[in-house]
Amino acid sequence: MNTFKLLLRVGTIMIAVYSVFAIFGIPTEIFLGSSALLGAVLGFGSSQTINNFVAGFYILISKPFEVKDYVKIGDIEGQVEEITINYTNLYTPTFNLLKVPNTQVMNSRVLNMTHEGFIKYTVSIGFPHDTSNPVLMEQCIQPAIDEFHTKYKEKQLRKPEAYFEASDRLGRSFLIRIFIPLGEARVLYVLKPELLDMIIKRWDEFKKR
């Protein structure tokens, strides 16, 4: 309907402009040249619209994600709030609604972090090499997870988990996995930094001993 309205308006304007040219005897070559340019612009815009439409239709049929799933599309992440023919609307960690063109969705890697009714979000945290893995887990990470789970037990059904990730010349890193009920991205955005802050505070206290 919007496309039809646009074409109707453009056609009306072209007829009006042509009539003005004819009445005042202005050479029609100018009008024809302008019309060709306008037609090329509209054709390009229409091709983009068609590509977006096809991409949206494909997403709706193939269902790489559904509304309320938490996904990462390329470098963008957020909770899916709406899937339309033209855009996928994401509720992002900045508490904003981002409209992602469906052509971008199709051309990007999609990671769906929603399983079994949870947002299963994993974040990495690093430490220097001067402390062993068991000590880091026992003195810093696990106590912070226990405190966090006790404090927010009513907001999550599963306790966060921690795993050793990797070690390099700069230090070692651990994966912290947090479980948030489906559709509660706002809770994730608030609780994730708090859990990391708890771990860092435990680390600071450990280093002072």
Rg, Å, the chain Cα set: 27
Is residue 148 predicted with pLDDT exceeding 90?
Answer: yes
CATH architecture of the domain with residue range 115-208: 2-Layer Sandwich (3.30)
Name the fold adopted by 1-110: SH3 type barrels. (2.30.30)
Report pLDDT for 47.
61
pLDDT tens-digit readout, 53-112? 777 777 878 889 999 999 999 999 999 999 888 889 999 999 999 999 998 998 899 999
Report pLDDT for 10.
65
The verdict on pTM exceeding 0.85 is: no
User: Given the structure tokens 């309320």, which residue do they identify?
Assistant: 68
Percent of the chain with pLDDT over 70: 79
CA distances 86 to 52, 60, 140, Å, are 5, 11, 46
CA distances 77 to 19, 21, 47, Å, are 52, 52, 27
Report pLDDT for 42.
47
Task: Give the mean model confidence (pLDDT) for residues 131-151.
Answer: 93
Distance in angstroms (rounded) separating the CA atoms of residues 73 and 105 = 6
Distance in angstroms (rounded) separating the CA atoms of residues 31 and 37 = 10
pLDDT tens-digit readout, 156-174? 778 999 999 999 888 999 9
Query: Residue 45 carries which side chain, given as an amino acid letter?
Result: G
Cβ proximity of 123 and 196 under 8 Å: yes
**Residues pairing with 87 in the sheet:** 101
Name the residue with higher pLDDT: 153 or 193. 193
- For the chain, which residues make up each domain, given as ranges? 1-110, 115-208
